[in-house]
Amino acid sequence: MQVTASRGTPMVALLAIVGGALAAVGSFLAWASVSAAGQQVSAKGTDGSDGYITLVAGIILLLYGVARLTGNAMGTKKAMAVIAIVAGLVAGGVAVYDAVTAKERVLDEAASQVASSAGVSKTAARALLDQAVDSGQVDISLSIGIFIVIAGGALGLVGGVMGFGSSAASAPAMPEVGPTGPSAPPSSMPSPSAPQSPAPEIPPVAAPQPPAPEIPGDPGQGSST
């Protein structure tokens, strides 16, 4: 039985391709920037390991979208949809985590560098940096790249969920199999039957009649002389 692609396949493929492209491109862009003393330093996603994780997730989403668009490997599209869902969660989840913890991570790294160069403890260096941030001397902000990755992961996740739902809805129904094989459809035409020969006629048999009883003569009458 041939399985045809569902009507939602073009939309699923489009969401996966766009989401994967955004996640991959956003991994090479700046995720955060630090401004201090009139200078600004930006950190790209691929400057750390998280950027490569989102890059791989974006490539997986791209491959999934292309496979759904071209109709390749349609027999495993449910498994592919699960992989796309995981890839979208990974790309978006890593980017969201980095966005939430970007300030703390930047300050921790900067405190380590200040402590080693100034010969002070990391706690003291972190306290100085916190004061600089509170006073506006140091500004830490998120850049466009991390938001692009978050959007790409969200689109890929939606595409994977839609692909999984369409895969489950378009599963073909298997024919019922009886003890000796698949049941044949009922036919509207009656099946021909073998001609039947008429039963031979049996002649009627008369029942035997009992013999008539003999009537004895009158004993009072004699023979005439």
Strand ranges (E), 55-199: 138-142, 177-178, 181-182
Q: What's the CA gap between 77 and 54, in Å, rounded?
A: 22
Paired tokens of 107? 């300050």
Taking a C-beta distance cutoff of 8 angstroms, is the pair 68, 9 a contact?
Answer: yes
- pLDDT value for 170: 57
- pLDDT value for 59: 97
Residue 5 pLDDT exceeds 60: no
- pLDDT value for 72: 65
How many CB atoms are located within 10 Å of the residue 130 CB?
Answer: 13
Q: What percent of the chain shows pLDDT beyond 90?
A: 36
The closest of 89, 98, 109 to 142, measured between CA atoms, is 98
- pLDDT value for 4: 45
Paired tokens of 4? 């045809």
Q: pTM of the predicted model, to two decimals?
A: 0.67
Residue 16 pLDDT exceeds 90: yes
Domain limits of the chain?
9-99+139-172
Each residue of 185-224: pLDDT tens digit?
555 555 555 556 566 566 665 555 666 555 555 555 544 4
- DSSP 3-state of 200: coil
- Min mean pLDDT across 80-89, 98-107, 141-150, 173-182 is at 173-182
CATH class of the structural domain 9-99+139-172: mainly alpha
Q: Give the phi and the psi of residue 223 in degrees, each rounded to 5.
A: -80, 140
